[in-house]
Amino acid sequence: MKISKKFALNKSQAELDFVDIDTKKDTPLFLDPFFLGNRLDRWSIEATLLLRNFFQRLIELIQKGDEKSARELFEHLGEDNSTCLGVSNDKPEGRGPGEKDSINIYDNLLKSRAIQTGLIQDIEDSILFVDRFGKDKLSDMTTNIIKRQLLEYTNAQCDLHNIALTDNIPSGYYWSSENLSWEINYTKMLVVDGKPITLVPKGIVSFSESYTSDKYYNHFVLNFLQHEHLKMNSALVQKRKNGTRFVTKKDLKEENPNSKEFLRRFTLKYPEVLVDFKTKTKTNTLKNIEITDIGIKDVCKSLGERLIQIASGNPSASEFHNTILGVLELLFYPHLINPRKEAEIHNGRKRIDITFDNAAREGIFYRLSENLKIPCGYIFVECKNYSADIANPELDQLSGRFSTNRGKVGFLICRNFLNRSLFIERCKDTFKDDRGLIIPIIDSDIINMLDNYNENDDLFFDNYISNLIREITLA
């Protein structure tokens, strides 16, 4: 049963930030450190720094000749079934490096001299040069190393969706960059049917089909060798009827079959080809339609209908807040990820808003930072299910959360405006005073964006938000 059904969230995958796993079987998705290393959001950057810290410690120990300590680093890279990600066909069994595999992996690294020669520089390079090592093992290694960060994410998502956690559960080993060692503690965890579960952001998973030894071999190594043989006019060079010289990849494969051993030897001789592979290999965040079989248009229609039926006023505030959260997750993904609930007591009342991590590599949330130079590492969202008009206190409440380090962009979402032009003027004043950019959104805006939502082309959404921002930022 999927997490959304187990806890009656009444949300589709498109409305959730985490992978909506089935806790009884594995979902064929992976944590790919190369993909993580190419992302710009703070969560991924922190995870990448943690992975590099672990691997640099391993390199340091091996180069110092401290084989015992280096080997010990592999002791806690075993199977982690708590994410329910991987390739098993039945219940999650995990295919991470067990004790025997870990020893083999370590020995292969050591015997190949891959680290001493500088061949392996990042943890993801292991997938290219280490024998019997594939994306499943790399994913499990990654999971173990960043386990603490994943547990923090899990707790935040459970808080966001009001899912109960269980106290005093062993966390499993995770890497501590502060102490350069494996650590374990007892903490709150999500437990489903007696099994600890770790949620994973859907924005950081992949099919791990880009950074692979096969792609490196077929599209970079062989291409390079074709040029080399043409340059040397070797025996493999053939001529077409029109005199054009060529070398077939079939002949090259017969001469140098694809193997990790060959890739190691080749890359030591031609390291620039690996650099070219790293530079030109592109990774993209998975779309909702790639990880779920639901109809996104149906979800948009359902969300719009649900929104309209919610009455204004405090009794329906939680329902409005929960629905808006699903709407924003669908509309903002993959540009904004990792929504978190932030609560603060003010005048005896708890006020809650949501922060998103800005992961945009293009589009309006990217341009806000790059072109307008507005700090927006985080994007703030405040929801107001008021029947009356929004006024200055609500605007000041949101702008009061802004800072240069956290971000100075936020959305104030409410049902309608009796005097929209007046509120726009207030937003303009806030922006002119360098107190931040507040973008007002009402029901009709949301319905319009849902009706025109296209996961394969977010031009409508981008233009819509851009026009709202232009209305506030231009005199």
pLDDT of residue 89: 45
pLDDT of residue 345: 47
What number of other Cβ atoms are within 10 A of residue 337's Cβ?
23
How far is it, in rounded angstroms, from Cα 137 to Cα 182?
18
Q: Which helix (H) or strand (E) holds 349?
A: strand 349-358
CB 274 within 8 A of CB 263: no
For residues 276 and 301, membership in a common domain is answered with: no
In a domain, 254, yes or no: yes
pLDDT of residue 110: 60
For residues 252 and 321, membership in a common domain is answered with: no
Give the side-chain half-sphere CA count within 13 A for 346. Answer: 13
137 by DSSP, 3-state: which?
A: helix
Task: Pick the last residue of a domain from 205, 237, 264.
Answer: 205
Enumerate the β-bridge partners of residue 195.
192
Task: Pick the last residue of a domain from 182, 205, 228.
Answer: 205
Please identify which residue in the block is written with the tokens 């990042």: 122
For residues 305 and 265, membership in a common domain is answered with: no
pLDDT of residue 102: 59
For residues 229 and 147, membership in a common domain is answered with: no
Amino acid at 156: A
In a domain, 286, yes or no: no
| CA 109 distance to own-chain centroid | 28
352 by DSSP, 3-state: which?
A: strand
* Number of compact structural domains in the chain: 3
Q: Can you read off the two tokens belonging to residue 341?
A: 């609930």
Enumerate the β-bridge partners of residue 345.
350
Along the chain (475 residues), what's the average pLDDT of each consecutive run of 10 residues? 95 97 93 93 95 91 85 81 78 52 63 66 87 86 95 96 96 95 96 96 94 96 97 94 94 95 92 95 92 91 96 93 96 95 57 86 94 93 87 84 93 92 93 95 97 94 96 87
CATH number, residue 432: 3.40.91
In a domain, 289, yes or no: no
In a domain, 110, yes or no: yes
In a domain, 290, yes or no: no
The domain in which residue 244 lies consists of: 213-280
Closest to 303 (Cα-Cα) out of 295, 312, 293? 295
For residues 32 and 149, membership in a common domain is answered with: yes
CB 294 within 8 A of CB 149: no
For residues 170 and 269, membership in a common domain is answered with: no
For residues 364 and 408, membership in a common domain is answered with: yes
For residues 193 and 57, membership in a common domain is answered with: yes
For residues 411 and 273, membership in a common domain is answered with: no
In a domain, 99, yes or no: yes
For residues 181 and 243, membership in a common domain is answered with: no
Task: Pick the last residue of a domain from 280, 304, 323.
Answer: 280
Query: Mind giving me the DSSP string for 416-475?
Result: --SSHHHHHHHHHHHHHTTS-EEEEE-HHHHHHHHHT--TT--HHHHHHHHHHHHHHH--
